Each structure stands twice: as C-alpha cells, then as structure tokens.
Amino acid sequence: MSNVPLLTLITFLPAVGAVIIMLFMKKEQTKAIKGFATAVAVLDFLISLPLWFNFDQSEAGFQFVEKVSWIPTIGVSYFVGIDGISVLLVLLTTLTMIVGVVCSYTAIEEREKEYYVCLLLLATGMLGTFIALDIFLFYVFFEVTLVPMYFLIGVWGGPRKLYAAIKFFLYTLFGSVLMLLGILAFYFANLKLGTGTLTFDLVELYGVGPKIPLSLQIWIFLAFFIGFAIKVPMFPFHTWLPDAHVEAPTAGSVILAGILLKMGTYGFVRFALPLLPQASQVFVPFMVLLSIIGIIYGALVAMAQTDIKKLVAYSSVSHLGFVMLGIFALNDQGVLGGQLQMINHGISTGALFLLVGVVYERRHTRLISDYGGLSKVVPVYTVLFAITMLSSIGLPGLNGFVGEFLILIGAFKKSYVYAAFAVIGIVLGAAYMLWLFQRVFFGNLDNPENEKLTDCNTREVLYLLPLIILMFWIGLYPKPFLGRMEASVKKVVKMVNAAEAPQKAALGKMTKLEKR
C-alpha cells in the first residue's frame, strides 16, 4: 500500500479547486477564475504523471492502492487503486480537463464562475469512477458525474439545451438505478453463498462471481448491461447522445466523447466480465450483434448528417461499437485493442469536437453547406483537421490504426464473419469523414463570410497539440501504452474464459437430459 495517497489527491484536487472558486472568488473576477481553474487542471495532470512513470507493467493486479473502512455496517470501504485497464484512462482524464478548461476561455461568456465549478466537479466524479475498487464507491462516483454534466448541457448548451440535458439525465439515471439493483443482487448472492462476509470489495467479489448460479448471473448481467450500454452508448440505447453532443458547449462535448462514454466500456471490462464470467459467455452473440449493428448503423447515419457536430456524434456510436466488439471477442488481442481504442477515441474524437468548436466560435454555424474552400483561408486549421480526421479513420501511422487492427485480429479469431462486418464499418467510416473534409475544405470559396475567417491562434494550437502528438506517438510506437495494459487485460480474459469449460459441460448435461 502506497504511503502517499496519490489517487485520492488526484481525484479530489479538482473538487477542492471547485470549492475555492465557489466560496472565495467573485463572479466579476473572470480572469482570475479562468487562471485558477487552469492551474488546478494543470497541477492535477502533473500530480498524475507518476502513475505513468512508476507503474509496474509486469504486475497484473492493482497498484497505488488505498483502503479505509467507510461504512463498516454494510461492508463499504474507501478502496481505490489502478491497474493497466484504468491507468491510461486516469491520465487521459487529467489531460482532457486541461484542454476542456483552456478551450472554454472564449466559448463561455456568461456564468463563468459556475461553469468552471461544474467542470472541476465533473473531473472528480470521472476520476473516482476509474479508481474505485469498491462497487458501492464506484456507483457513488458514477452518479456524481450526472449532476455537473446536466448543468453543463442545460445552462451553457445550444438552443435545445434543456431537452438534451433532461434526456441525458433520465437515460443515464434509469441505467444507473438498474445497475444498482444488479450490485445489490450480487451483494446478497454473496451472503447467500454462506461466505458470511459483508463486502462490496471488488477484489474479494471476483472470487465469488463464478460460484453464483448461471440463472442469477444472467439477471445481474442484464442489469449491468443496461446501465453500461446506455453510457457507452450501444445501439439501441444511443438516442440521447447526438442531442447531448450537439447542444453541449465545446468542452462538454470533448469530455463527453473523451471520458464519460468510456465509463460504460470500462464498466463492462472491470465489472460485468470478471464478476459474471458465465453470463458474459452466454451473452457474447447478443453483444457482438449489437456492436456490429452499432458500427454500421452509426456510420450510415453519420454519412447522412448535414450538421458537422452531429456527424461526429454519430461517429462515436460507430467507433464505440468497435470497442465493444473487441471486448466481447474475449481474447487477448480483441480486449487489448478495445482498451487502446477507448483511449484513441478519446483523443481523436475529442480533437474533432475541439476543431468544430474553433470554427463555430467564428461563424456560429455547424451546417456543412455553409462552408467550402476553407483550406484557402485557414491552412493551419486545415492541416490540424486533416491529421485528426485521418486518425479517426485509422490511417496507418496514426493511433486509430493500431486499435482497429488489434480489434480485427480479435474478432477474426472469434469468427471471420464478425471481422467481415467490422471491415464494412471501417470503409464507411473513411467514406463519411473524407466526404466531410472534401465538402468543408475544398471546392470553391462561395460564401463571402468564410473569406473573413481567421486561422487558429496560438492558444487553440497549444490545446490541440498534445492530442496531435498522442495520435502520432500511439500510431508509431504503441508499445508503452500496450505494455501497461497487457498484463491486466490478460488477467481479465483468463478469468472470463476459465468459466467457459464448466459452462459448456453444464450445457452438455442439460442437452443430454432434454434428449432423454
């Protein structure tokens, strides 16, 4: 156990910053508020860097662990730690928060004090979700993220902001409540097995899951599935996402795409698969089917969009379908690719939303038809958009290619049919992104208002630069990222697949009895 409560410090520093802004700063002090929020975000990122440098890649278990009894009556503890599955998500969150704060300087012009308070509180909720190793604690942090995100969309969003905010809140709350029922069912199943232990400790419960009867596992998996599938969002639970993305301010869209959606995919890998291994095996065909539908449906709907931001939003449905396909391939390559693609999507799609925000601040329109020929007036912006777009479609040499390639290997090992459908999604993804780029940046500069556009300023280039660097780093040398994830991913895959043999034996016995 670490002597320094590093994870606690990383998680709660933004909340402390939010409290200071709320209590001690006047709303007229906008420059001071922006500067202080930026300083908190940068400090939080710097404090999180030891997680990268001091992480033991050979260790599959949890590191930087902190554990304190919290509600002993029901067995709840403040138990946090990270492994290869969560370490990169924590680092991506702290980096994304800097970008989110800095990109808001000129985008937000009213109630700025409350805005930065919500941003920092949201950071605490997201970080807590990725480090929690007590299921009750995980649920608390999972729910905490709802409130600041609701206000970010509902107060600082677009024309239909209240509709989008309420839809986001109700969808996610509905999924969360069902997930809570699943957690409670698991908790009482543990007691019924006669262990005599009142605990929400994830590490202890990993050993309990395989002992729970398959019929009950299936019901608990369904509860987890709805909670996490809404968050991902998987088809057909995705309908809240385009509204939330389109109406959210730029930083809200970046955080939503970059981090919040990953809470769903992370939930499947951290909780659903290892806690309910037999049920996970049963649901593989169903999960793969929904993933493939999401990949192709998301790409086709994205292709039909006339709004740039809505196109990027639907692309997330397609890309996260890839992530889910990799996870439910249930082999090392597929799950590893899914984990890396979670990071890649956060980088590439987050950057796309930033770039949409840059041009929206200047023109106050997101309609593709209002643009054309922008490469003639904003060359730096064009280059940044081109790199990000190529990263999103998985060009070799950029980050998206590595994740997609591993997912395709994993899917092919499971079934060549899965891989064939996934390839269709990749082709469609290239089609809608290249077509978008052609319509916005090439052709004639017909609209006179576009002739006055100014190119990216220094601040905009600086907050995009870390994401561009990561695109090339992961694309050209992914070893440091894959190395940190590999041991933990193999452990999860082994836990799930260890349940496959007993399950097949049980199904075989049932089949023989039915024949008799």
pLDDT digits (tens, 9 = 90+) for 73-86: 888 899 999 998 99
pLDDT value at position 482? 92
pLDDT value at position 511? 46
User: Could you tell me which residue, 396 or 196, shows the higher pLDDT?
Assistant: 396
Local confidence band at 95 (pLDDT 50, 70, 90 cut-offs): very high
Q: Which amino acid is at 53?
A: F
Helix, strand or coil, per DSSP, at residue 241: helix
- Decide if 246 is inside a domain: no
Can you say how many angstroms the Cα of residue 206 is from the centroid of all Cα atoms in its chain?
Answer: 23
pLDDT value at position 510? 42
pLDDT at 411 over 50: yes
How far is residue 194 from each of residues 191, 208, 279, 449, measured CA to CA in Å? Answer: 6, 11, 21, 72
pLDDT at 145 over 50: yes
The model's pTM is 0.90
pLDDT value at position 2? 46
Contact criterion met (CB below 8 Å) for 489 and 338: no
**What burial class does residue 111 get, using C-beta atoms within 10 Å of its C-beta: 0-12 exposed, 13-18 middle, 19+ buried?**
middle
The residue segments making up the domain with residue 343 are 283-476
List pLDDT tens digits, range 197-228. 778 888 888 888 888 888 888 999 999 999 99
- Decide if 330 is inside a domain: yes
pLDDT value at position 196? 61
User: Could you tell me which residue, 475 or 188, shows the higher pLDDT?
Assistant: 475
Cis bond upstream, residue 236 (ω within 30) = yes
pLDDT value at position 234? 87
Q: How many structural domains does the chain have? A: 1
Phi/psi for 63 (5° steps) reads -125, 165
- Decide if 360 is inside a domain: yes
The neighbouring-strand residues paired with 262 are none
The C-alpha angle with vertex 364 and arms to 359 and 365, in degrees rounded to 5, equals: 85
- Decide if 71 is inside a domain: no
pLDDT at 455 over 90: no
pLDDT value at position 75? 85
List pLDDT tens digits, range 471-500. 999 999 999 999 999 999 999 898 888 876
Quote the percentage of the chain above a pLDDT of 90. Answer: 46
Q: Which amino acid is at 415?
A: S
Q: Indicate the range of 88-102, 194-208, 224-238 predicted with least confidence.
A: 194-208
Among candidates 343, 351, 287, which has minimal Cα distance to 319? 343
Local confidence band at 88 (pLDDT 50, 70, 90 cut-offs): very high
Q: Indicate the range of 85-94, 265-274, 293-302, 502-511 predicted with least confidence.
A: 502-511
The C-alpha angle with vertex 157 and arms to 152 and 163, in degrees rounded to 5, equals: 95
- Decide if 213 is inside a domain: no
pLDDT at 16 over 90: yes
User: How much is the mean pLDDT over the chain?
Assistant: 88
pLDDT at 505 over 70: no
List pLDDT tens digits, range 324-380. 999 998 888 999 999 999 999 999 999 999 999 998 888 888 888 888 888 888 899
List pLDDT tens digits, range 252-289. 889 988 898 899 999 999 998 998 889 988 988 999 99
pLDDT at 514 over 60: no
pLDDT value at position 195? 59
Contact criterion met (CB below 8 Å) for 407 and 337: yes
pLDDT at 509 over 70: no
- Decide if 226 is inside a domain: no
- Decide if 390 is inside a domain: yes
pLDDT value at position 456? 86
Question: Would the CA dihedral through 305, 325, 145, 389 be positive or negative?
Answer: negative
List pLDDT tens digits, range 413-442. 888 888 888 899 889 989 999 999 999 888
Whole-number Å distance between alpha carbons of 289 and 220: 20
- Decide if 466 is inside a domain: yes
Whole-number Å distance between alpha carbons of 4 and 240: 40
Contact criterion met (CB below 8 Å) for 130 and 87: no
